[in-house]
C-alpha cells in the first residue's frame, strides 16, 4: 500500500477507522495496528440493557400499557366489559332506569376517551422501540465492519502463508 502520510500515535481509534475507510491514508503497518485494536477490543453493545438503564418512568409506563393493551387477555376482557355494559343497559336495567340507554352515548364517550389516551401512549412506546431497533442496526453494522476487517486480515495472512509456502516448495524442488 502506498504510504501518503505518517499517522501519529495520538489519533483516536475512531479517527483511524475513518482514515482507513474513507481516505486510505494509512500505511500497511498502521492498518495492522488498527486491525489489532479492533480485534482485541469488543465493539458490540447490549442494546436492551443500555436502553433499560436509560428508560424514564414514562417510558416504562408506555411500554407496560402497550404490552397490556396489545394482549389477548386485554382484548377478551374488553369485549367482556362491552358485552356486560350492553346487557346491563338493555336487559337488566329497564323502564327508564338505564344508566346508558341505547345507542350507548356514555359508552361511546368512554371508548373515545380510552382511545384518545391509549393511542399516544402506544405511539410513544413504538417510537422508543424504533430508536432501539435503529441502535441495534448500528451495532450490527459495527460488528459487520469488525468481522469484515478481521476476515480481510485473515485473507491477507493466508495469502502471505501461501506465497511463502510456494517459495519454500520451489526451494525444496530446486534442491
Query: Is 17 inside any structural domain?
Result: no
Query: Is 117 inside any structural domain?
Result: yes
What's the longest Cα–Cα distance across the chain?
116
From the list 2, 30, 153, the residue with the least C-alpha distance to 13 is 30
Residue by residue, pLDDT tens for the chain (175 residues) are 444 555 445 565 555 566 655 555 556 666 666 666 666 666 666 777 777 778 888 888 888 888 888 899 999 999 999 999 888 888 877 766 778 888 889 999 999 999 999 999 999 989 988 988 888 888 888 788 878 878 888 888 999 999 999 999 999 998 7
Helices and strands in the chain, H and E counts: 6, 0
Query: Is 2 inside any structural domain?
Result: no
pLDDT tens column, 27-70: 666 666 666 666 666 666 677 777 777 888 888 888 888 888 88
Query: Is 50 inside any structural domain?
Result: yes
The domain total for the chain is: 1
In terms of phi and psi (left: phi > 0; alpha: psi -120 to 50; beta: otherwise), the region of 104 is left
CA atoms within 13 A on the CB side of 141: 6
Query: Is 130 inside any structural domain?
Result: yes
- Can you give the residue range of the structural domain that contains 67? 42-174
At 172, is the secondary structure helix, strand, or coil? helix
Query: Is 12 inside any structural domain?
Result: no
Amino acid at each position: 500500500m502506498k504510504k501518503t502520510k505518517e499517522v501519529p500515535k495520538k489519533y483516536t481509534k475512531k479517527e483511524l477507522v475513518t482514515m482507513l475507510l474513507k481516505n486510505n491514508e494509512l500505511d500497511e503497518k498502521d492498518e495492522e495496528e488498527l486491525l489489532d485494536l479492533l480485534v482485541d477490543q469488543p465493539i458490540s453493545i447490549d442494546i436492551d440493557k443500555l436502553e433499560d438503564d436509560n428508560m424514564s418512568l414514562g417510558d416504562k409506563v408506555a411500554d407496560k400499557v402497550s404490552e397490556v393493551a396489545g394482549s389477548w387477555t386485554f382484548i377478551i376482557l374488553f369485549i367482556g366489559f362491552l358485552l356486560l355494559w350492553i346487557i346491563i343497559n338493555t336487559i337488566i336495567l329497564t323502564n327508564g332506569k338505564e344508566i346508558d340507554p341505547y345507542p350507548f352515548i356514555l359508552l361511546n364517550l368512554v371508548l373515545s376517551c380510552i382511545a384518545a389516551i391509549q393511542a399516544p401512549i402506544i405511539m410513544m412506546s413504538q417510537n422508543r422501540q424504533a430508536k432501539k431497533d435503529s441502535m441495534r442496526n448500528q451495532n450490527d453494522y459495527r460488528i459487520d465492519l469488525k468481522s469484515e476487517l478481521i476476515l480481510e486480515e485473515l485473507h491477507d495472512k493466508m495469502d502471505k502463508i501461501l506465497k511463502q509456502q510456494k517459495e519454500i516448495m520451489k526451494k525444496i524442488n530446486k534442491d
